[in-house]
Amino acid sequence: MRKVIALMIALAGCGDPDFCEEGQESYAVLDQDELGNKSWDGDSFWITGYDQKIRLLGIDSPNISGSKNLYDCTNSSTEHCQNWEGQLGSPLDMKRIASCYQKGLDHIEQKLRETSVCVIKDDSHSSTQYGSLLRYLELNENGMPMDFAAWQIVNGYSLTLPSGGQGSCDRCDEYREIAESKTGCLWEE
């Protein structure tokens, strides 16, 4: 667990409380009003006043509705389903996944209400094929930056993406290393 915490701190930066600096092209400071209310689906969110969705790089939340719905995995064997089954086992325990999804959304909402955030662009990715902006999210946790995707992995609210595409981001190898600990909601018995 110490290794996981050290990786989360290293991923998030040097610890400067002003980690989102004005005038830097790769950074956008969002306050809680701009984040909107209940705008998360775990790995994607919308910013009030903007038309584009933000998609977190390197992770996949257990979507249980809409497209890429994990309930569809009982009838198909897509790459998306194979990633989830490869990490959690087959068949997927949909009751546990649905419970962790809701618990994760509640925890995410609480976390976002408590802090300021910074959205950071990865130089190798700009947007998805659907037009969502691919970004990292860091939270101001008591004056220290905290990588939000790493936090979701540690708490078992999201899985990592396989190498390739969105799973080839600057921080993705570190995310997969954190995921090896298999901690949090999705792995609890």
pLDDT digits over 28-47, tens only? 556 556 666 545 678 887 76
pTM as predicted: 0.79
Pairing of strands 117-121, 27-30: antiparallel
Pairing of strands 159-160, 144-147: unpaired
Give 66 or 26, the one with higher predicted confidence: 66
Task: Write out pLDDT tens, residues 51-61.
Answer: 677 888 999 88
pLDDT at residue 153, as a whole number: 94
pLDDT at residue 34, as a whole number: 65
